[in-house]
Amino acid sequence: MDLDSMQRILEQSLADNKPIWQIALEEDMANRMVTREASMEKMRRTWRAMVDSADSYSGERRSLSGLVGGDGERMRLYYANHESIGGSFTAEVMASALAMGENNACMKRIVAAPTAGSCGVMPAVLIPLWRKEGIPEEMMLQALYVTCAIGSVIATRASISGAAGGCQAEVGAASAMAAGALTYLHGGTGEQICHAVAISLKNLLGLVCDPVAGLVEVPCVKRNVIGAMNAIAAADMALAGVESRIPVDEVIDAMGDVGRRLPVEFRETALGGLAATPTGKAVKERMQKNRKRRRTLTIKDMRWKLTTAPARETKE
């Protein structure tokens, strides 16, 4: 089945008495024409790449622009030495989100989840929970399949790209995926997973994409923190029996609608929001200084000929 509706996935899951993760797994087997083992193996590699990335964090690194680095470590030092307001688990979640966002900005290996800019949200909630509760790896893989089902539905009905739908489509989608995984890991039903997705996405609806100087640094790294914390809140609410009054697919459609109507300034162009603040613009100018003057490329320059016939595509 196409992973294009949470409601349909849920109905299928109830009808066949099959958990959501298994529906996503079977979809992958059919789509990529691979065995169950091969699919699971790839998921295991993905999970381990996440864990490796989290463990390889160093607070010493700085991004190419110099704007980002060290905050994950700052957060860990803080909660090691002080009673943090939200307790040490949430402090570790925040530190993990910052650390992964910084890994990305500093050209370290990460897992796009669903994008590079939002790569910190899922590992920030999943890895600390996995360690704290000693959850078996197999179950973490199942949770990741749940996130794939959620992400596929969002990508199909709305978008998972900041350029197309704003940050609600990146950090928002990541948060919804994480919320679904958390709900699953704590024994939530399929319905509860859907409510967690709906609630988390609603909370970040309208979030714009406004990266300073066009770089995946400010505000991206810290937005991973709100994505992670929002996922915990949504999962806990769903597990408590709180329900989204707007059904999940309608929420996703609304996100897509808001994204399409967002002015282009708020879709990764770095022309609005934080990117357009005096400080944001100053950073951009600093980054531009070393650039060479642009020229218009002529055909002669490239030793290329123009073609008369455009490429035709035919399907066999």
Measured CA to CA, the distance from residue 57 to residue 69 in angstroms comes to 10
Burial of 87 (0-12, 13-18, 19+ CB in 10 A): exposed
Instruction: Name residues contacting another protein, limited to 137-156 (CB under 8 A).
Output: 144-145, 147-149, 151-152, 155-156
Residues 288-306: b if buried by 16+ CB within 10 A, e if exposed: eeeeeeeeeeeeeeeeeee
SS3 136: coil
| Binding flag, residue 209, ligand SF4 (CB under 6 A) | yes
27 or 170: whose CB is closer to ligand SF4?
A: 170
The single-letter DSSP state of residue 56 is T
In whole angstroms, how close is the CB of 162 to ligand SF4 at the nearest point? 3
| Contact partner at residue 110 from another protein, ligand SF4, none, CB < 5 to 8 Å by partner kind | another protein
| Contact partner at residue 96 from ligand SF4, another protein, none, CB < 5 to 8 Å by partner kind | none
81 or 296: whose CB is closer to another protein?
A: 296
Instruction: Name residues contacting another protein, limited to 166-225 (CB under 8 A).
Output: 213-217
| Contact partner at residue 291 from another protein, ligand SF4, none, CB < 5 to 8 Å by partner kind | another protein
| Contact partner at residue 37 from another protein, ligand SF4, none, CB < 5 to 8 Å by partner kind | none
In one-letter notation, the amino acid at residue 227 is: G
Cis upstream peptide for 219 (omega within 30°): yes
190 or 272: whose CB is closer to ligand SF4?
A: 272
Instruction: Name residues contacting ligand SF4, limited to 210-239 (CB under 6 A).
Output: 210-211, 216, 219-220, 223
Residues 94-130: b if buried by 16+ CB within 10 A, e if exposed: bbbbbbbbbbbbbeeebbebbbbbbbbbbbbbbbbbb
Give the x/- contact pattern for ligand SF4 in 145-184, rule: CB under 6 A. -----------------x----x--xx-------------
How many Å is the Cα radius of gyration of the chain? Answer: 21
Measured CA to CA, the distance from residue 110 to residue 63 in angstroms comes to 14
Cis upstream peptide for 247 (omega within 30°): no
Instruction: Name residues contacting another protein, limited to 26-85 (CB under 8 A).
Output: 27-28, 31-32, 42-43, 45-46, 49, 63-65
Instruction: Name residues contacting ligand SF4, limited to 250-289 (CB under 6 A).
Output: 268
Instruction: Name residues contacting ligand SF4, limited to 107-136 (CB under 6 A).
Output: 115, 117-118
Taking CB under 8 A as the criterion, the residue among 18, 62, 108, 186 binding another protein is 108
Instruction: Name residues contacting another protein, limited to 254-313 (CB under 8 A).
Output: 270, 287, 290-297, 302-313
First to last CA, the chain: 24
In whole angstroms, how close is the CB of 238 to another protein at the nearest point? 21
Give the interface size with another protein as a residue count (CB under 8 A).
Answer: 73
Measured CA to CA, the distance from residue 275 to residue 214 in angstroms comes to 8
Measured CA to CA, the distance from residue 77 to residue 145 in angstroms comes to 33
| Contact partner at residue 167 from another protein, ligand SF4, none, CB < 5 to 8 Å by partner kind | ligand SF4
How many CA atoms does the CB half-sphere of 199 hold within 13 Å? Answer: 26
| Binding site residues, ligand SF4, CB under 6 A | 115, 117-118, 162, 167, 170-171, 209-211, 216, 219-220, 223, 268
